[in-house]
Chain A
Amino acid sequence: DAGVIQSPRHEVTEMGQEVTLRCKPISGHDYLFWYRQTMMRGLELLIYFNNNVPIDDSGMPEDRFSAKMPNASFSTLKIQPSEPRDSAVYFCASSSRQGLNTEAFFGQGTRLTVV
């Protein structure tokens, strides 16, 4: 398996623009997570899905953030409108709960810069 695939790897956008981050989880994994990494706050969970259903979005900072998972192999995280303070690395991760396997496998991240 190719692992978790995120696109784009880097995104530079102007304040006020819409940004869409994409993720393809590992095939067969039933959990998908979106994390954000900043120097100030470290790695924080934004939202997670189980079997394509959003379970907990309490980490989503504002209504400007939204996430969807239309099927088991694709998820998006959208920011509209974007602001400079949204600049961060956004990670998508997936996991399977079969047996004792609870670890999350991460994509390479999307580095977002909002100017």
Chain B
Amino acid sequence: AQKVTQAQTEISVVEKEDVTLDCVYETRDTTYYLFWYKQPPSGELVFLIRRNSFDEQNEISGRYSWNFQKSTSSFNFTITASQVVDSAVYFCALSEAGGSYIPTFGRGTSLIVHP
């Protein structure tokens, strides 16, 4: 069974639109971490954010914001006023205490921002 589900395979928006990337996770551990990574067309994987299971506070960083809800096992990522440079594949990942904190990745969501 997939531990991290990113149901949106591809999202296409026009510049300046807001967009939310969904991530649903599955774990039996009470201690775990959630991450988002960005993979631009150049191919590298860039770490964006880490949240631990004991901290449900939402986080904002510039145009990026993250909504962590344990009740729905979701860790969604919103980009406000999207820009062409946001075009990339975005991965959600989970690491669990029972899994030695080894990151398991979702299949990724490809975001295309059109000018």
Q: Report which B residues bind A (CB closer than 8 A).
A: 33, 35, 37, 42-47, 50, 52, 91, 95, 100-108
**Most chain B CB inside 10 Å of its own CB: which residue of A102, A103, A106, A111:** A103
Q: Which residue of chain A has its CB nearest to the CB of B104?
A: A45
B43 near A109: Cβ-Cβ < 8 Å: yes
Interface residues of A, CB < 8 Å — how many? 23
Query: Interface of chain A, helix or strand or loop or mixed?
Result: strand
**Most chain A CB inside 10 Å of its own CB: which residue of B33, B37, B101, B102:** B102
* Chain A residues with CB under 8 A of B52: 100
B103 near A104: Cβ-Cβ < 8 Å: yes
CB proximity to B under 8 Å, residues A13-38? 33, 35
CA distance in complex: A104, B107 (Å): 17
The one of B43, B47, B104, B106 in contact with A105, judged by C-beta atoms closer than 8 angstroms, is: B47
